[in-house]
Amino acid sequence: MASGKKREELKKKIENSIRIRRSRLHSYATQMAFRLVSFATKNSHTIRSQIWRDTSRQNMPSLLVNIQPVTYEKKLLKSSKKNKKQSSFVLSNWAQSSNNVNLASFAVSLENAKRGKPFTDGEYIKYCFIRASEELFRDFKTKAEIMKKIKDLPLSAKTVQDRTAKMSSNVTHMQVEDIQLASALSLAID
Protein backbone atom coordinates (compact mmCIF):
# COMPACT_ATOMS: atom_id res chain seq x y z
CA MET A 1 0.00 0.00 0.00
CA ALA A 2 2.79 2.40 0.84
CA SER A 3 4.38 1.95 -2.56
CA GLY A 4 1.01 2.61 -4.22
CA LYS A 5 0.65 5.92 -2.37
CA LYS A 6 4.20 6.88 -3.28
CA ARG A 7 3.47 6.16 -6.93
CA GLU A 8 0.33 8.30 -6.82
CA GLU A 9 2.22 11.14 -5.12
CA LEU A 10 5.01 10.89 -7.68
CA LYS A 11 2.47 10.85 -10.51
CA LYS A 12 0.75 13.96 -9.08
CA LYS A 13 4.11 15.74 -8.75
CA ILE A 14 5.00 14.92 -12.36
CA GLU A 15 1.59 16.05 -13.66
CA ASN A 16 1.83 19.26 -11.63
CA SER A 17 5.35 19.86 -12.95
CA ILE A 18 4.16 19.37 -16.54
CA ARG A 19 1.21 21.71 -15.95
CA ILE A 20 3.54 24.42 -14.59
CA ARG A 21 5.94 23.95 -17.51
CA ARG A 22 3.11 24.30 -20.00
CA SER A 23 1.75 27.44 -18.38
CA ARG A 24 5.23 29.00 -18.46
CA LEU A 25 5.64 27.90 -22.06
CA HIS A 26 2.27 29.43 -22.94
CA SER A 27 3.16 32.79 -21.41
CA TYR A 28 6.59 32.72 -23.06
CA ALA A 29 5.05 31.86 -26.45
CA THR A 30 2.51 34.66 -26.12
CA GLN A 31 5.25 37.17 -25.37
CA MET A 32 7.35 35.96 -28.30
CA ALA A 33 4.37 36.04 -30.68
CA PHE A 34 3.65 39.63 -29.68
CA ARG A 35 7.27 40.61 -30.22
CA LEU A 36 7.37 38.91 -33.61
CA VAL A 37 4.20 40.69 -34.72
CA SER A 38 5.53 44.04 -33.55
CA PHE A 39 8.85 43.31 -35.29
CA ALA A 40 7.47 44.56 -38.61
CA THR A 41 6.32 47.87 -37.18
CA LYS A 42 9.37 49.06 -35.26
CA ASN A 43 13.04 49.65 -35.90
CA SER A 44 14.34 46.23 -36.89
CA HIS A 45 17.79 46.61 -35.30
CA THR A 46 16.38 47.61 -31.92
CA ILE A 47 13.83 44.79 -31.93
CA ARG A 48 16.42 42.22 -33.07
CA SER A 49 18.75 43.09 -30.23
CA GLN A 50 15.88 43.09 -27.72
CA ILE A 51 14.66 39.68 -28.88
CA TRP A 52 18.23 38.36 -28.75
CA ARG A 53 18.61 39.65 -25.20
CA ASP A 54 15.29 38.17 -24.05
CA THR A 55 15.86 34.79 -25.65
CA SER A 56 19.45 34.30 -24.64
CA ARG A 57 20.26 31.05 -22.85
CA GLN A 58 20.10 32.58 -19.40
CA ASN A 59 16.50 33.78 -19.86
CA MET A 60 15.21 30.68 -21.66
CA PRO A 61 13.11 28.48 -19.40
CA SER A 62 15.07 25.32 -18.73
CA LEU A 63 11.75 23.59 -18.20
CA LEU A 64 11.12 23.37 -21.93
CA VAL A 65 13.24 20.26 -22.18
CA ASN A 66 11.54 16.85 -22.24
CA ILE A 67 7.89 17.87 -22.01
CA GLN A 68 5.98 14.68 -22.74
CA PRO A 69 2.51 14.84 -24.31
CA VAL A 70 -0.37 13.54 -22.21
CA THR A 71 -2.87 11.08 -23.70
CA TYR A 72 -5.64 13.66 -23.27
CA GLU A 73 -3.67 16.04 -25.49
CA LYS A 74 -3.27 13.36 -28.12
CA LYS A 75 -7.05 12.96 -28.20
CA LEU A 76 -7.42 16.72 -28.32
CA LEU A 77 -5.00 16.89 -31.25
CA LYS A 78 -6.99 14.30 -33.20
CA SER A 79 -10.26 16.13 -32.60
CA SER A 80 -8.54 19.40 -33.49
CA LYS A 81 -7.44 18.01 -36.85
CA LYS A 82 -10.97 16.78 -37.50
CA ASN A 83 -12.45 20.17 -36.61
CA LYS A 84 -9.86 21.91 -38.78
CA LYS A 85 -10.93 19.88 -41.83
CA GLN A 86 -14.59 20.65 -41.16
CA SER A 87 -13.95 24.36 -40.64
CA SER A 88 -11.84 24.62 -43.79
CA PHE A 89 -14.66 22.96 -45.73
CA VAL A 90 -17.18 25.45 -44.34
CA LEU A 91 -14.80 28.33 -45.07
CA SER A 92 -14.27 27.25 -48.67
CA ASN A 93 -18.03 26.93 -49.23
CA TRP A 94 -18.61 30.36 -47.72
CA ALA A 95 -15.87 31.87 -49.85
CA GLN A 96 -17.23 30.32 -53.03
CA SER A 97 -20.75 31.46 -52.25
CA SER A 98 -19.59 35.06 -51.96
CA ASN A 99 -17.77 34.83 -55.31
CA ASN A 100 -14.35 34.98 -53.68
CA VAL A 101 -14.76 38.71 -53.00
CA ASN A 102 -13.97 38.20 -49.33
CA LEU A 103 -10.86 36.15 -50.12
CA ALA A 104 -9.66 38.90 -52.41
CA SER A 105 -10.28 41.43 -49.65
CA PHE A 106 -8.24 39.33 -47.21
CA ALA A 107 -5.45 39.00 -49.80
CA VAL A 108 -5.28 42.76 -50.33
CA SER A 109 -5.35 43.36 -46.56
CA LEU A 110 -2.52 40.86 -46.08
CA GLU A 111 -0.33 42.50 -48.71
CA ASN A 112 -1.14 45.92 -47.27
CA ALA A 113 -0.10 44.75 -43.78
CA LYS A 114 3.07 43.02 -45.02
CA ARG A 115 4.30 46.28 -46.48
CA GLY A 116 3.31 48.33 -43.43
CA LYS A 117 0.99 50.61 -45.37
CA PRO A 118 -1.85 52.52 -43.70
CA PHE A 119 -5.31 50.95 -43.69
CA THR A 120 -6.66 53.75 -45.89
CA ASP A 121 -4.53 52.49 -48.78
CA GLY A 122 -7.18 49.79 -49.37
CA GLU A 123 -9.50 52.39 -50.89
CA TYR A 124 -6.64 53.72 -53.02
CA ILE A 125 -5.79 50.20 -54.22
CA LYS A 126 -9.44 49.60 -55.13
CA TYR A 127 -9.59 52.86 -57.09
CA CYS A 128 -6.38 51.97 -58.98
CA PHE A 129 -7.68 48.48 -59.64
CA ILE A 130 -10.93 49.84 -61.09
CA ARG A 131 -9.10 52.30 -63.35
CA ALA A 132 -6.66 49.64 -64.57
CA SER A 133 -9.46 47.12 -65.18
CA GLU A 134 -11.33 49.52 -67.41
CA GLU A 135 -8.35 49.48 -69.74
CA LEU A 136 -7.28 45.85 -69.29
CA PHE A 137 -10.68 44.25 -69.84
CA ARG A 138 -11.95 46.63 -72.52
CA ASP A 139 -12.27 43.86 -75.14
CA PHE A 140 -13.72 41.21 -72.81
CA LYS A 141 -17.35 40.15 -73.09
CA THR A 142 -17.61 39.82 -69.31
CA LYS A 143 -16.18 43.26 -68.55
CA ALA A 144 -19.33 44.36 -66.70
CA GLU A 145 -19.23 41.30 -64.44
CA ILE A 146 -15.52 41.80 -63.71
CA MET A 147 -16.04 45.48 -62.92
CA LYS A 148 -18.97 44.64 -60.63
CA LYS A 149 -16.84 42.20 -58.62
CA ILE A 150 -14.06 44.76 -58.28
CA LYS A 151 -16.51 47.44 -57.16
CA ASP A 152 -18.03 45.00 -54.63
CA LEU A 153 -14.58 44.38 -53.13
CA PRO A 154 -14.75 45.62 -49.50
CA LEU A 155 -11.56 47.63 -48.94
CA SER A 156 -12.56 50.50 -46.68
CA ALA A 157 -10.10 51.49 -43.97
CA LYS A 158 -12.23 49.84 -41.27
CA THR A 159 -12.56 46.60 -43.26
CA VAL A 160 -8.82 46.40 -43.95
CA GLN A 161 -8.11 47.09 -40.26
CA ASP A 162 -10.56 44.38 -39.12
CA ARG A 163 -9.21 41.80 -41.55
CA THR A 164 -5.62 42.53 -40.58
CA ALA A 165 -6.52 42.17 -36.89
CA LYS A 166 -8.33 38.88 -37.58
CA MET A 167 -5.35 37.47 -39.45
CA SER A 168 -2.95 38.64 -36.73
CA SER A 169 -4.98 37.15 -33.88
CA ASN A 170 -5.44 33.92 -35.80
CA VAL A 171 -1.68 33.58 -36.36
CA THR A 172 -0.93 34.30 -32.70
CA HIS A 173 -3.59 31.82 -31.54
CA MET A 174 -2.31 29.10 -33.88
CA GLN A 175 1.30 29.64 -32.75
CA VAL A 176 0.35 29.33 -29.09
CA GLU A 177 -1.70 26.18 -29.76
CA ASP A 178 1.11 24.58 -31.77
CA ILE A 179 3.68 25.36 -29.11
CA GLN A 180 1.45 23.94 -26.38
CA LEU A 181 1.03 20.69 -28.30
CA ALA A 182 4.76 20.34 -28.96
CA SER A 183 6.76 17.83 -26.97
CA ALA A 184 9.90 19.96 -27.31
CA LEU A 185 10.74 23.48 -28.45
CA SER A 186 13.77 24.78 -30.28
CA LEU A 187 14.41 28.41 -31.20
CA ALA A 188 16.97 29.51 -33.76
CA ILE A 189 17.87 33.18 -33.71
CA ASP A 190 20.16 34.89 -36.20
Q: What is the pLDDT of residue 131?
A: 92
HSE, side-chain direction, 13 A CA sphere, residue 31: 12
User: Please, are residues 185 and 62 in contact by the beta-carbon 8 Å criterion?
Assistant: no
Residue type, 174: M
% of residues, the chain, pLDDT over 90: 2
Rounded to whole angstroms, the Cα distance separating 148 from 101 reads 11
Q: Which of 51-60, 87-96, 102-111, 145-154 has the lowest mean pLDDT?
A: 51-60
State the chain's mean pLDDT as an integer: 72
Kindly tell me if the per-residue pLDDT of 121 is higher than 80. yes
Count the Cβ atoms, other than its own, within 10 Å of residue 112.
22
Q: What is the pLDDT of residue 92?
A: 58
Q: What contacts 118, CB < 8 A, 6 or more positions away? A: 157
Q: What is the pLDDT of residue 65?
A: 45
Q: Which of 70-79, 99-108, 110-119, 181-190 has the lowest mean pLDDT?
A: 70-79
> Residue 147: which of 160, 159, 137 has the closest Cα?
137
Q: What is the pLDDT of residue 37?
A: 54
User: Please, are residues 102 and 160 in contact by the beta-carbon 8 Å criterion?
Assistant: no
Q: Which of 51-60, 99-108, 133-142 has the lowest mean pLDDT?
A: 51-60
